[in-house]
Each structure stands twice: as C-alpha cells, then as structure tokens.
C-alpha cells in the first residue's frame, strides 16, 4: 500500500491547485458563468487524460528509448529542483501563467490545462510514482486515484474561483505557491539521491 499522505502532498505541490485559481480567472475573465463551468470541466478532463497517459505509457516510452528510470529520476529531480527554485525566488506559478494567459489565446487547453494543471512536474511525478519495478499494479492504481483526487480538488477550486480569490487573493496564492515550491525542492532532492543510489546499485 502506498503512503497516501506523501503521494497527495507530492501531487498537490507539483499541480499547485491554489496557484491555478488566478490563472483560471485570467483565462475566463471574458466568459459567462456557464462558459466558465464548461472550461473548468474541459480543463479537468484534458489534464486527467494527459496525466493518466503518463501513468500508463510514460515508462514504456522511456524503455523504448533505452533510458534507465534511474537516469530519468536524476534528470527529473534536477528539473523539478530548478522549477521549485523559480517558484520560490522567481515569479510564482500564478504570476507567471497569468501573464501567459493575457498574451495568448485563452482556452481550456492552453495555458489552463497545459502547463498550469498538467505541468511538466506533474507529468514527471506521474511516471516516477508508478515505476513498474518498484510499485505493484494495485499501488499504481492507488497512486493514479490519489492524483485524480488532487485534480478533483483543482476542479472544485476552479468552480469556486471567484469566492476563493476574494478570500485568498493573488498575493495569498503567490505565498502558497512559494511554500509549495519549498516542499517541491525537498522532494526533488530526494528524487536525485534515490536516482543516484539506484543507478550505482545496478
């Protein structure tokens, strides 16, 4: 059985549901309430399909390219760490992606579904936490279910975005995003150390 709390925190950090709220509000600023609900549902569905794809096929793609998972884990940990540093010291997720939303065509897919919800970090996490050599099929299903649960939280927050934004505000979302960045940096270092340990154990 997986550690549900650790897995939940992991996905919560990389997906950052709170940070998605300002992005959603920016993307849907010119839409009616009914249209906002449709966009939220579509973004949830697209994000779920993308991440489930990485759960199922991510490791298969790596094997087909002859990339050992330990190397992917080290590289992924480095990428996650750099991503976490930008969340802590640079522009937070809401700040960065609100700019993206205001300069591109606003749709449920871009930038809301990708890269806001189904972020590169979330894709990487989906692969690492469902490694066939380390996790049984039932554990992988549990991990996928935990991931979908986090995505459901994202959906609920998007549907309640106006109220939550009044309560938290963009500044509050930025602070939470930076805290998530700190947690993510610790997780990234753990991935790097585990990858190095696995690589030299081979």
Q: How far apart are the first and last CA of the chain?
A: 25
Q: Which residue has the higher pLDDT, 149 or 93?
A: 149
Confidence of residue 104 (pLDDT cuts 50, 70, 90): very low
Quote the pLDDT of residue 75: 84
Mean pLDDT to the nearest integer, 170-195: 81
Q: How far is CA 39 from CA 25, 49, 197, in A?
A: 11, 15, 43
Quote the pLDDT of residue 43: 93
Q: Which residue has the higher pLDDT, 83 or 124?
A: 124
Mean pLDDT to the nearest integer, 77-98: 73
Cα 58 to Cα 170: distance, rounded to the nearest angstrom: 34
Q: Which residue has the higher pLDDT, 103 or 83?
A: 83
- Top mean pLDDT of 16-20, 136-140, 159-163, 175-179 is at 136-140
Mean pLDDT to the nearest integer, 126-142: 92
- Count of CB atoms within 10 A of residue 60's CB? 10
Confidence of residue 35 (pLDDT cuts 50, 70, 90): confident
Q: Phi then psi for 111, rounded to 5 degrees? A: -95, 10
């Amino acid at each position: 059985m997986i550690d549900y709390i650790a897995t939940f925190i992991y996905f919560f950090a990389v997906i950052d549901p709170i940070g998605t709220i300002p992005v959603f509000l920016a993307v849907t600023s010119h839409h009616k309430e009914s249209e906002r609900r449709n966009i939220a549902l579509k973004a949830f569905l697209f994000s779920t399909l993308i991440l489930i794809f990485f759960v199922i096929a991510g490791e298969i793609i790596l094997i087909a390219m002859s990339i050992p998972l330990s190397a992917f884990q080290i590289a992924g940990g480095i990428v996650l760490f750099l991503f976490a540093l930008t969340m802590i010291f640079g522009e937070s997720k809401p700040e960065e992606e609100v700019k993206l939303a205001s300069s591109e065509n606003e749709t449920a897919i871009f930038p809301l579904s990708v890269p806001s919800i189904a972020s590169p970090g979330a894709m990487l996490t989906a692969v690492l936490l469902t490694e066939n050599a380390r996790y049984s099929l039932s554990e992988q299903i549990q991990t996928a279910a935990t991931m979908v649960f986090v995505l459901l939280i994202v959906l609920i927050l998007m549907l309640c975005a106006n109220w939550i934004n009044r309560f938290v505000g963009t500044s509050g979302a930025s602070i939470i995003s930076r805290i998530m960045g700190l947690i993510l940096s610790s997780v990234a270092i753990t991935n790097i150390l585990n990858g190095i340990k696995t690589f030299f154990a081979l």
